[in-house]
Amino acid sequence: MAKVDVLLGLQWGDEGKGKVVDYLAPNYEVIARFQGGPNAGHTLEFDGKKHVLHQIPSGIFREGTTNIIGNGVVLDPITFEKELIDLQPYNLDIIGSLILSSKAQMIIPSHRVLDAAFEKSKGDFKIGSTLRGIGPTYQDKMARIGLRLGDVNAKDFDQRYQALKDRHCETLDRLEYDYDLSDQEAAFFKAIEVLRSYRIVNTEYLINDLLVKGRSILAEGAQGSLLDIDFGSYPYVTSSNTISAGACTGLGISPRHVGEVFGIFKAYCTRVGSGPFPTELSGAKGDKLRQQGNEFGATTGRPRRCGWLDIPALKYATMLNGVTQLFMMKVDILSDIGEINLCDSYSHQGQDTEEFPVDFNEDWSVNLKAFKSWSHHAFNSYSQFPDELKAYISYIEQRTDVPINLISIGPDRESTILK
Ligand code: GDP
Ligand code: IMO
Ligand code: MG
């Protein structure tokens, strides 16, 4: 029996998951998304082209790879159709290589409106949602009133859609929120027709059958562990389990069938949206990291908040996920920037601690450790790495007790070094 390897982000998302899934895809027969939805923006770069995927797994460009959208995902048919249109120039056999779970929840236009209405009603306590309807759709899943992809072929699909929409409209009226769904509804029903031409099956059977046949599967996470609904900085989180356990519930596999857990992290930290960020750099230093790292959201274009690497947070994420290998991204961005810092521990009311804080307020501060930056020059192998970079890597390995086996030195597929 084969195993499912899981690849996920260990920070607040945007660690570079799309790039690495695309890089590793030739080693796997199946790539499967297990949670999240169009809030994700996974960037792939190759042959001088750059492409952002939101719901379609990042194995889509690799011929011969099967791509699965699992039951844990919330899928927006309108975004799905748009993604397909954006992929047309590449002449890929998407209909042949993409399979969707009948149990994945469906985002309908009023979910998006609700997302905006709920955010507005939160005033100063906004989550900074991507406004893609994620929270309201998972809310309906838990309330057991959601629509699922398998419902598209039900005779009463239109009535069930209408019933769900009516519920949403009642809430929107109560919130006195202005909206007009007409354009979006037309686009939605057009997209539903497109969706009907794709294979929508009970992917849990398919995946388990493939495992029995010894096929290799890579589960592609979205968001990051610090945005997990249970373990992230609640309430400033997303609405799904982003940690490795989410791959079991989001694909229908037993924990016994999880193999390697690849944890991806940036050599520093970023966060989009609200919520605590212990190592955040304000002012010129943060601006410099944002400019050098081109830290602007792949989904919303929002500027990402930037800060130093946070070791206790990284250790927390490796613990929650059972990470077996670390992949460090965007190492090139820290070259030639003078002094690099990382957070080695926190201080809470004068006491040092490594426990990730639920709420990082004025009672907390970070204990920083300084490292020397390395000068930028071309390196094609680990042995050519400058000593300063090797020192940074080995310190992180020592503190997390997990090897860093892949180092990314640029956005392109090729700018990837295995240790
Ligand atoms: P994801 O959501 O985890 O897939 O990450 P995003 O695509 O949202 O954000 C990562 C950004 O960093 C994208 O623009 C990537 O092209 C880029 N990127 C990935 N790895 C590297 C790297 O090693 N160096 C640089 N400079 N950019 C990278
Ligand atoms: P990828 O997969 C970074 C953040 C939002 C917001 C919070 C809740 O590209 O790494 P939501 O729309 O889920 O209700 O927003 O989570 N967020 C992400 N941040 N990368 C993502 O995905 C994100 N998906 C959601 O900014 O703070
Ligand atoms: Mg992203």
Ligand 1 atom nearest to 294, measured from its CA = 14
**What's the pLDDT tens digit per position in 74-99?**
999 999 999 999 999 999 999 999 99
- Is pLDDT at 378 greater than 80 in this prediction? no
- Centroid of ligand 3 to alpha carbon of 30 (angstroms): 21
Active-site residue identified among 5, 22, 42, 310: 42
pLDDT at 349: 93
pLDDT for the residue numbered 377:
75
Q: Express each pLDDT in 51-76 by its tens digit.
A: 999 999 999 999 999 999 999 999 99
Residue 375 has pLDDT above 90, yes or no: no
**Which of 126, 223, 269 for a ligand 2 pocket mutation test, highest count of atoms within 8 Å of Cβ?**
223
pLDDT, position 55: 98
Q: How confident is the model at residue 415 (pLDDT cuts 50, 70, 90)?
A: very high
Ligand nearest to the CA of 289: 1
Pocket test for ligand 2, best of 238, 243, 274, 295 (most atoms within 8 A of CB): 238
Mean pLDDT of the chain: 96
Contact 31, 58 (CB under 8 A): yes
Q: Quick one: pLDDT band at residue 407, thresholds 50, 70, 90?
A: very high
* Interatomic CA distance for residues 57 and 35, integer angstroms: 11
What confidence category does residue 298 fall into, taking pLDDT thresholds of 50, 70 and 90? confident
Say if ligand 1 is within 6 A of residue 76 CB.
Answer: no
> For this structure, is 42 an active site residue?
yes
| Predicted local confidence at residue 300, as pLDDT | 83
pLDDT value of residue 299: 80
Check residue 106 and give its pLDDT: 98
Element (H, E) at 328: strand 325-329
Q: Which of the ligands is closest to the CA of residue 19? A: 1
135 C-beta closer than 6 A to ligand 2: yes
In degrees, rounded to 5, the angle at the alpha carbon of residue 298 between the alpha carbons of residues 417 and 28 is: 45
SS3 string of 175-188?
A: CCCCCCCHHHHHHH
Tell whether the torsion through CA atoms of 227, 228, 229 and 235 is positive or negative.
negative
The pLDDT of residue 135: 98
pLDDT at 411: 97
Say whether pLDDT at 188 is over 80: yes
Quick check: pTM over 0.95? yes
Q: Residue 14: is its pLDDT beyond 80? A: yes
- Determine the number of helices (DSSP H) and then strands (DSSP E) in the chain: 12, 20
**What is residue 301's predicted lDDT score, i.e. its pLDDT?**
86
Nearest to 348 by CA among 364, 361, 336: 364
